Amino acid sequence: MRFYLSLTLPLFLFLTPLHSLDSETNSPTYKFTIVSGAPTTLNASDVLEVASFEECTEKCQKDQQCIMAYQANSSDPCYLFAWNSIQEVARNESGGVGTVAFKPISPNDTMNYLWKIDTSEDGWKITYIEKREEENLICGNFSFNRPYPDGCNPECMKTMVQLNGEPGPLSNNPRTSPASTWMECVNQCHENFNCFVTYFRDGVENCTWYPIDDVVFINRTEASAGKHIALKLPLSNRSCKLTTDELLNDQYYLASGNFLYAYEMSFIRVRTTPKYYKINYYLNEVPQLTRTIPGCEVNTVGSQVYENGKNDPNPIVCLRLENAPGITYAAAKEICHEWDGKLMTQRHAGFLQICSAKLDYAAMPWTWWTRYSKWGFPDWMTKDVKFWMGLEKDNGTGQWHWLAPEWAITNNYKITACKDNTNLGTVDFYTNKMEMTWAPGQPVNKPGLDCAYTIHKAGASFPGFGHYSSTCDAEQADGFLCGTPRQQDKGVMKWEDLMKEYQG
Ligand SMILES: *[C@@H]1O[C@H](CO)[C@@H](O)[C@H](O)[C@H]1NC(C)=O
Ligand SMILES: *[C@@H]1O[C@H](CO)[C@@H](O)[C@H](O)[C@H]1NC(C)=O
Ligand SMILES: *[C@@H]1O[C@H](CO)[C@@H](O)[C@H](O)[C@H]1NC(C)=O
Ligand SMILES: *[C@@H]1O[C@H](CO)[C@@H](O)[C@H](O)[C@H]1NC(C)=O
Ligand SMILES: *[C@@H]1O[C@H](CO)[C@@H](O)[C@H](O)[C@H]1NC(C)=O
Ligand SMILES: *[C@@H]1O[C@H](CO)[C@@H](O)[C@H](O)[C@H]1NC(C)=O
Ligand SMILES: *[C@@H]1O[C@H](CO)[C@@H](O)[C@H](O)[C@H]1NC(C)=O
Ligand SMILES: *[C@@H]1O[C@H](CO)[C@@H](O)[C@H](O)[C@H]1NC(C)=O
Ligand SMILES: *[C@@H]1O[C@H](CO)[C@@H](O)[C@H](O)[C@H]1NC(C)=O
């Protein structure tokens, strides 16, 4: 028989483990306390499909970490809350719709992780007590609510930040490993020097994880989707004191030395937008490093003109040609923009017809030769490639224009390009106008054809490519070419300043 206890006075569950009296035998039983209400956030819960609320509380009973179960109605899933994942429950009169079950603390509990529930005007407040915390609560066990008391201990500085989300656009090369629970995934990633982000879906007994440069966007999801992400962040003495939300709000973290294959002098930045958690991966921006063009984000290649070691005043742009089969212009433009860039401008007539020896010569990189050569189109010499640059029609004037005309080279600079992919002959010319190399018969100026894709023809002779007018949100291409200013031109934190934070 179920016994409903109404909580009217502050209850200190940890002092006197909650017991109710069985109405028949009058002996103490350890039962969940059931109330009408709802947690104020579902952020940090586990989601399960259940047949009944009874099953929901049973799952909580069996789960060592669980302290509270919730269900909105019989067709809603069951939400389980772990120790230190929920602070408040709103009572029905304060708008909390559903049923909440508080787990009793069993007298057999080791009494290390305790909690108490106090009534408040709007419902209930849950506070957590760590007895013998130093023995058992290790790095706050990466619990949701930060900062936690041992969060700045040296062994806790490489932390796991738990989020609701899933790997988003530009995620590359996922790895999987078996795990039966989310915490198992979190711990595996924490121990794995190669793991940067790990992902787990409730009900799918696998972790999906990514090394440092394989995740750019994490799509934010509702807790009810049952999708978990943990981000491994190497903290400093400053950032270890931040809350979870603060950690994700435009902060920089040291990458080199903390991840397998992280570049020397590299660091990451984490930001939150309405749709995404965004990750950028940067390098020391100073010129002495062995980058072709310093200041370009990892996995981008610089494009500049120079002669005899002297830089030309023409703009330097960092480029990434992204292989993204099926992408529309609208989607490419959005992703490139979220990535602090713009779809790329044709810099000059032979822009795509590069000689391989002149990769950094104001040209367009098709691939990149480091181990990070996962992007781009390695087959460009033998296969046609169709992709988006930033060419669209102005809806007001009806004129075609580049999204970033400032990146074109128009000051009469002498450019050498290849006649074709064989690298045998070259073509010299002077860049003195804004180029738009339309394919023969293009553009077709019809309503609805407001954007343009570019086809590079394998082996075709100079200029080797052409633009074609198309729809913006239906036509699909194989990828897109995104440009972005150098780190120092867009206000990215300087390596030296980050070092002050990490090394004093
Ligand atoms: C948690 O939920 C609150 C309220 O719904 C929201 O404002 C906050 O951004 C969420 N935090 C995270 C990390 O999802
Ligand atoms: C059950 O609760 C969910 C979440 O609050 C809500 O979206 C849904 O409409 C509810 N269903 C019914 C039948 O009340
Ligand atoms: C709580 O209040 C809402 C209206 O505010 C009502 O529809 C619901 O049935 C009440 N009870 C529970 C258990 O949610
Ligand atoms: C406590 O432990 C004893 C001995 O292991 C067991 O018999 C008893 O059922 C347990 N009580 C609860 C409430 O789990
Ligand atoms: C925290 O982690 C430690 C070490 O892994 C473990 O022994 C302990 O049970 C965990 N505590 C909680 C509340 O999960
Ligand atoms: C992530 O969000 C983007 C933009 O809304 C969407 O196109 C993409 O399909 C989402 N990815 C996943 C895995 O849902
Ligand atoms: C887990 O991953 C393995 C391969 O690593 C795969 O064979 C298996 O189907 C996956 N399981 C689930 C439930 O996705
Ligand atoms: C111009 O307007 C049309 C109709 O509103 C729209 O479909 C198209 O995407 C717009 N073009 C651009 C380049 O934004
Ligand atoms: C960070 O804090 C630890 C412990 O208090 C201290 O030993 C270390 O020197 C500090 N590091 C910096 C860079 O301030």
- Higher pLDDT: 62 or 245? It is 245
Please report, for the domain that includes residue 421, its CATH number. 3.10.100.10
Inter-residue contact 264 to 243 (CB < 8 Å): no
Task: Report the candidate in 79, 375, 92, 312 with the shortest Cα–Cα distance to residue 202.
Answer: 79
Give φ, ψ of 391 to 5 degrees. -115, 115
The predicted model gives 7-15 an average pLDDT of 32
**467 in the same domain as 323:** yes
**267 in the same domain as 148:** yes
**Cβ burial, residue 392 (10 Å; 0-12/13-18/19+):** buried
**In DSSP terms, which residues pair with 451 in a beta bridge?**
392, 470
In this prediction the pTM is 0.74
pLDDT at site 179: 93
Per DSSP bridges, beta strands 113-120 and 99-102 are: unpaired
pLDDT at site 2: 32
Look at the alpha carbons of 282, 220, 244, 197 in this order and tell me if their dihedral is positive or negative. Answer: negative
Distance 207 CA to ligand 7 centre (A): 9
Q: To test the ligand 8 pocket, which listed residue (334, 393, 395, 397) has its Cβ within 8 A of the most ligand atoms?
A: 395
Per-residue model confidence as pLDDT tens digits over 458-480: 989 999 999 999 999 999 999 99
Does residue 51 lie in a domain region?
yes
pLDDT at site 138: 83
Ligand 5 pocket check for 110: Cβ under 6 Å: no
Q: Give the DSSP H/E element, type plus range, for residue 125.
A: strand 123-130
Of the residues 80, 100, 134, the one at which a domain ends: 134
Q: How many CB atoms lie within 10 A of CB 477?
A: 21
Degrees (nearest 5) of the Cα angle 354, 292, 335? Answer: 75
**128 in the same domain as 105:** yes
Does residue 492 lie in a domain region?
no
**277 in the same domain as 251:** yes
Residue 382, pLDDT > 60, answer yes
Does residue 219 lie in a domain region?
yes
The predicted model gives 181-196 an average pLDDT of 95
Does residue 446 lie in a domain region?
yes
Does residue 50 lie in a domain region?
yes
Give φ, ψ of 162 to 5 degrees. -90, 135
Q: What amino acid occupies position 255?
A: A
CA distance 42 to 224: 7
**116 in the same domain as 25:** yes
Does residue 498 lie in a domain region?
no
**220 in the same domain as 234:** yes
**145 in the same domain as 129:** no
Distance 130 CA to ligand 5 centre (A): 12
**117 in the same domain as 156:** no
Distance 367 CA to ligand 7 centre (A): 31
**In DSSP terms, which residues pair with 126 in a beta bridge?**
117
**190 in the same domain as 126:** no
Ligand 7: nearest atom to the Cα of 206: 1
**Cβ burial, residue 271 (10 Å; 0-12/13-18/19+):** middle
- The token pair at 129 is 């007590």
Residue 20, pLDDT > 50, answer no
CA distance 251 to 339: 16
pLDDT at site 356: 59
Residue nearest atom 1 in ligand 9 by C-alpha distance: 237
- Kindly indicate the confidence band of residue 13, based on its pLDDT and cuts at 50, 70 and 90: very low
pLDDT at site 358: 54
Distance 206 CA to ligand 7 centre (A): 6
- Higher pLDDT: 382 or 337? It is 337
**215 in the same domain as 119:** no
Residue nearest atom 1 in ligand 6 by C-alpha distance: 168
Share of the chain above pLDDT 90, in %: 56
- Kindly indicate the confidence band of residue 373, based on its pLDDT and cuts at 50, 70 and 90: low
- Higher pLDDT: 340 or 431? It is 340
**62 in the same domain as 13:** yes
Ligand 3 pocket check for 74: Cβ under 6 Å: no
Residue 371, pLDDT > 70, answer no
Most confident of 49-53, 101-105, 427-431, 492-496: 492-496
CA distance 498 to 504: 10
Ligand 4: nearest atom to the Cα of 107: 13
Ligand 9: nearest atom to the Cα of 504: 13
**364 in the same domain as 237:** no
CA distance 123 to 90: 4
The predicted model gives 52-61 an average pLDDT of 92
Please report, for the domain that includes residue 151, its CATH number. 3.50.4.10
Degrees (nearest 5) of the Cα angle 394, 397, 401? Answer: 40
**53 in helix, strand or coil?**
helix
Does residue 33 lie in a domain region?
yes
Ligand 6-lining residues (CB < 6 angstroms): 166, 168-169, 219, 275
CA distance 198 to 341: 27
Ligand 7-lining residues (CB < 6 angstroms): 176, 204-206
Residue 404, domain extent: 297-485
Ligand 2: nearest atom to the Cα of 72: 2
Ligand 2 pocket check for 224: Cβ under 6 Å: no
Respond yes or no on whether the N-terminal peptide bond of residue 463 is cis (omega within 30° of 0).
yes
Ligand 1 pocket check for 177: Cβ under 6 Å: no
Distance 331 CA to ligand 8 centre (A): 14
Does residue 495 lie in a domain region?
no
Tally of domains in the chain: 3
Task: Report the candidate in 238, 181, 229 with the shortest Cα–Cα distance to residue 205.
Answer: 181
What is the pLDDT of the chain when averaged over all its residues?
Answer: 85
CA dihedral 52, 56, 59, 64 (to 10 degrees): -170
Q: To test the ligand 9 pocket, which listed residue (237, 241, 501) has its Cβ within 8 A of the most ligand atoms?
A: 237
Ligand 7: nearest atom to the Cα of 177: 5
Of the residues 248, 282, 316, the one at which a domain ends: 282
Per-residue model confidence as pLDDT tens digits over 267-322: 999 999 999 999 999 999 987 665 667 888 888 888 887 665 565 667 889 988 88
Of the residues 282, 309, 326, the one at which a domain ends: 282
Residue 365, pLDDT > 90, answer no
Distance 95 CA to ligand 2 centre (A): 14
CA distance 244 to 217: 18
Q: How many CB atoms lie within 10 A of CB 8?
A: 7
Ligand 8-lining residues (CB < 6 angstroms): 392-393, 395, 450-451, 472
Distance 278 CA to ligand 5 centre (A): 30
